[in-house]
Amino acid sequence: MAEGLRERKKRRTRQHLSDVATGLFVERGFDAVTIAEIAEAADVSVNTVYNYFPAKEDLFLDRSRGIVDRLSRYVRGRDTGESAAEAVLRELRIQVEGVSPTVGLIDGYAHFMRVIEGADTLKARLWHIGQEAQLHLEGTLREESGADPGDQGPVLVAGQLSWLHSTLMAYIGGEMVAGRRTDEVSRDALVLLDDMEDLLGEKVLNYARRAAG
C-alpha cells in the first residue's frame, strides 16, 4: 500500500526532529540539551516533540525497534538446513564484511558512541533495549523450535546469541571511538566473530535447524 500524504508528513517530521536533536546531542552532550531547545531548533512546539517522542532518550535511540527485532528476523529468515546460530552468524558477517552502518561501521559513529558514554540514562535505555531484544529472541526460538513451555533451551540459546551480538557491537563501537578506519575495524571484527563462534557449543550451533520441506 502506497504511503499517504499524512503518513509521509508524519514520517518526515519525526525524522527532522530526530536529526535536529541528534545534532544538538553530538554538539553539546545529551544531558545538556533540553526538549524546549530541541523544539525551538526544529521550529515546532514542545508538545509536538512529545507527540512523536515520549522521552528524550527516544529522540536519540529512535531506531530501537529495529534493534529489538534484529536477531529474531535473522532466525526467522534462516535457510533450509541452517540453524538459528548459523543464520545469525551469517547475517552479521555479511554486514561486517560489507562495512554496514547497521553494525556501526560508518564515519561519525564515534560521535554517536561518545554521546552514549556521557549519559547514564542512554546507557540504561540501551541495556533495556538489549534485554527486550533477548526476550523477543527467546520467544522466536521457542516458536521456531517447537519447544515445550518448560524447556530452557530457548532461554539459553537466546542468551548466547545476544552475547554474540552485543559483544560484536561493543567491540566495533570501541574501535570506532579509538579513531580506527571502518575497513580496519571490519577486518578485525570478522576475526572476532570467528573466535566467538569457536566458543559456542555444538548444542547452540545446531539449535533450531530448519528441516527441508
Cβ-contact 187, 93 below 8 angstroms: no
**Upper half-sphere CA count for residue 206 (Cβ side, 13 Å):** 3
Supply 40's cell numbers.
525551538
The number of residues making up the chain comes to 213
Its sign, for the CA torsion 60, 164, 204, 92, is positive
What is the pLDDT at residue 63? 73
What is the distance of C-alpha 57 from the center of its chain? Answer: 15
Q: Is 125 helix (H, G, I), strand (E, B) or coil?
A: helix
Cα–Cα dist 164/156, whole Å: 13
What is the pLDDT at residue 17? 95
Cα–Cα dist 3/201, whole Å: 46
Supply 202's cell numbers.
555444538
* Architecture in CATH of 5-60: Orthogonal Bundle (1.10)
User: pLDDT 10s digit of each residue in the chain, 213 long?
Assistant: 566 788 889 989 999 999 999 999 999 999 999 999 999 999 999 999 999 999 999 999 887 767 899 999 999 999 999 999 999 999 999 999 999 999 999 988 999 899 999 999 999 999 999 999 999 999 999 999 999 989 999 999 999 999 999 999 999 999 999 999 999 999 999 999 999 999 999 999 999 999 876
Supply 24's cell numbers.
544538538
pTM equals 0.87
What is the pLDDT at residue 212? 78
What is the pLDDT at residue 39? 96
Domain ranges of the chain: 5-60, 64-205
Per 3-state DSSP, what percentage of the chain is helix, strand, and coil (rounded to 5)? 75, 0, 25
What is the pLDDT at residue 1? 56
| Residue partners of 94: CB distance under 8 A and separation at least 6 | 100
Cα–Cα dist 193/196, whole Å: 5
Q: What is the DSSP string of 157-205?
A: HHHHHHHHHHHHHHHHHHHHHTT--HHHHHHHHHHHHHHHHHHS-HHHH
